[in-house]
A and B are shown apart, each in its own frame.
Chain A
Amino acid sequence: MELPENPTVVAQGLTKTYFNGNVVKALDGVSLTVRHAQFSCVMGPSGSGKSTLLNLIGALDIPTSGRLTVAGMDVGRLRGDALADFRRHKIGFVFQLFNLVPELTALENVTMPLLPYRRRLSFNLEARAKELLNRVDMGNRSDHLPGQLSGGEQQRVAIARALVNTPEVVLADEPTGNLDSKGGDEVMELLRDLCDEQGTTVLLATHNPRVAAFADRAFLLKDGALADDMSLERGQSLETLWARLGLS
């Protein structure tokens, strides 16, 4: 497999099998690469293995077989402190259900991933969190509880939280699944802009082509295997559309 320049994620023959009475092959020999600062998506129907792939890349789970390198680290072999360090410094997560702590304010939620390590940080954690909240247009709601925010606003706070440790990779699992299409589009534009600005590599899992359209590359999973891998760059889409509509 020829590797592109600066691959941040390299999966080779990745397999994950679960045993729950039956043998369930959630991922079946998936090989893919994601370049540094690339905004990619993993598409596929429910049960295709998208979430499993993201969990393996984020070291939330261990592969059954195959090799997985993320930000230069062999993720399948990480244990103990090395594993905790990897999750803390290299990865940011954005989940479908936001996963904000209901008893903490927006600002406190954003600081959460680094709170136990604040004394060792070279920057002021609250200031960083406030800056990120401003960046996601939630600066004036930083003292609100999640219950006082709309779904879209909660997801913005979740994005700020995912970026507080300036991760190399952001993993987003159906980030707009609980939002209406307008809210979803706004969240996706924000995620895209922020990650482009910071040069963050993004891999998001979705079954929704409207969300996938924000990515530059799409990996299509089907029954745990990689069914397709496509670049989404398109320069002439408008001209093509106008011709198709008979307007040119």
Chain B
Amino acid sequence: MTVKDIFLGLLLNRPAHGYELLGLMEAVLGDPWVINSGQAYSTLSRLERDGLVVPTTSVKSYEPGRTVYKLTKKGRAELRGWYARPVSRADRLRDELHVKLVLSLLGGPVSPAEIIREQRRYLLAEMHGLTRTRGLADPIDDLPWVLFLENAIAHLEADLRWLDTCESRLDDLKRIPHPRRPSRGRGRPPRQDVAE
């Protein structure tokens, strides 16, 4: 997902110029989505180049000199496709903590128990900070922001539960023999298509 997808989503309701889109994005999605006008206008240029938006003069109420954009049919199709695609979590497959724990089991300067302990301290402290921030937000006026924080808190909870699971299985993990390097024979590998 990029700012491009967000702009397409915002333009579905009504045409807008870049400055309006900046303000709308921040108002609807909150602080993490504050970007500068340069990024906003370069995004709009790319959208126009790709045929997803087009300048329109049909809306008269905007300030002169500002280009107002609207979605094209191609833009609507692109937006529909984005909504329909489930959000991938593939970025989690290469989890650094998982890697650290596994490597530490093979033998490292820090024990797996120590890694778990430090990570738990860090995660609990993060959760503390986010919980305090959520407590300061207005549950009605700041709802999108509250939901963002809830998302982050839920992920931290899941991480902490996983740490508890790892800690309870450490003895079992230590008993698993170290994997051996697959042996590679010398010379060329045998041909697989030789007819008998």
A213 and B117 in contact, given A232-B124, A234-B126, A238-B129 (Cβ under 8 angstroms): no
Q: How distant is A28 from chain B, measured CB to nearest CB, in Å?
A: 18
* In the complex, chain B residues 97-134 whose Cβ is within 8 Å of any chain A Cβ: 117, 120-121, 123-131, 133
Tell me, yes or no, whether A189 is within 8 Å of chain B by CB. yes
Number of A-B contacts (CB under 8 A): 65
Within 8 A of B (CB), among A214-248: 214-216, 218, 220, 227-228, 230-238, 240-242, 245, 247
Are the C-beta atoms of A213 and B32 separated by less than 8 Å?
no
From B129, B153, B164, contact of A45 by CB (8 A)? B164
Interface residue total, chain B, C-beta cutoff 8 A: 22
Q: Which residues of A contact B135 (CB under 8 A)?
A: 189, 192
CB distance from B150 to the nearest CB of A (A): 9
CA gap between A212 and B133 in the complex, in Å: 15
Chain B residues with CB below 8 A from A233, complex form? 125, 128
A: number of interface residues (CB 8 Å): 28
Cα distance A238–B152 in the bound complex, in angstroms: 10
Q: Are A242 and B32 within 8 A (Cβ)?
A: yes
Interface residues of B in 120-165 (CB under 8 A from A): 120-121, 123-131, 133, 135, 152-153, 156-157, 160, 164
Q: Indicate which residue in B121, B133, B157 contacts A237 across the interface (CB closer than 8 Å).
A: B133
Known A-B contacts A209-B157, A213-B153; A230 and B121 likewise in contact (beta carbons under 8 Å): yes
Question: If A209-B160, A210-B153, A230-B124 touch, does A237 touch B129 (CB 8 Å cutoff)?
Answer: yes
Known contacts A45-B164, A228-B121, A241-B152; A234/B129 CB under 8 A: yes
Closest B residue, CB atoms, query A209 = B160
Partner of A247, one of B32, B121, B153, B164: B32
* A83 nearest CB across to chain B (Å): 35
| Residues of B close to A240: CB separation below 8 A | 126
B128 in contact with A213 (CB, 8 Å): yes
Measured between beta carbons, the chain B residues less than 8 angstroms from A215 are: 128
- B129–A235 contact, CB under 8 A? yes
**Nearest CB on B from A93, distance (A):** 24
Asked if A234 contacts B152 (CB within 8 A), the reply is no
Partner of A230, one of B125, B130, B153: B125
* Alpha-carbon gap, A8 to B32, bound state (A): 41
User: What residues of A have a CB within 8 angstroms of the CB of B128 in the complex?
Assistant: 212-216, 232-234, 237
Within the complex, the shortest CB–CB distance from B162 to chain A, in Å, comes to: 12
Residue of B nearest to A212 (CB): B124
Determine whether the beta carbon of B125 is less than 8 Å from that of A238: no
Chain B positions within 8 Å of A212 at CB level: 124, 127-128
Interface string of B49-83 (1 = CB under 8 A from A): 00000000000000000000000000000000000
Q: Which residues of chain B are near A242, meaning CB under 8 Å?
A: 32
Q: Give the chain A neighbours of B156 by CB distance below 8 A.
A: 209
Residues in B with CB closer than 8 Å to A247 are: 32-33
Binding site for A on B (CB under 8 A): 32-33, 117, 120-121, 123-131, 133, 135, 152-153, 156-157, 160, 164
Please, could you name 29 A-B residue pairs with CB atoms under 8 Å apart, sorted by A?
A: A209-B123, A209-B124, A209-B127, A209-B160, A210-B153, A210-B157, A212-B127, A213-B124, A213-B130, A214-B128, A220-B120, A228-B121, A230-B124, A231-B125, A232-B127, A233-B128, A234-B126, A234-B128, A235-B129, A237-B125, A237-B128, A237-B133, A238-B129, A238-B133, A240-B126, A241-B126, A241-B130, A241-B152, A245-B32
A-B residue pairs, 3 tightest by C-beta = A237-B129, A234-B129, A232-B128
Q: Which residues of A come within 8 Å of B, CB atoms? A: 45, 189, 192, 209-210, 212-216, 218, 220, 227-228, 230-238, 240-242, 245, 247
Inter-chain pairs besides A227-B117, A242-B32, 13 sampled, C-beta below 8 Å: A209-B123, A209-B156, A210-B127, A210-B131, A210-B153, A210-B157, A213-B128, A232-B127, A235-B129, A237-B128, A237-B133, A238-B129, A241-B130
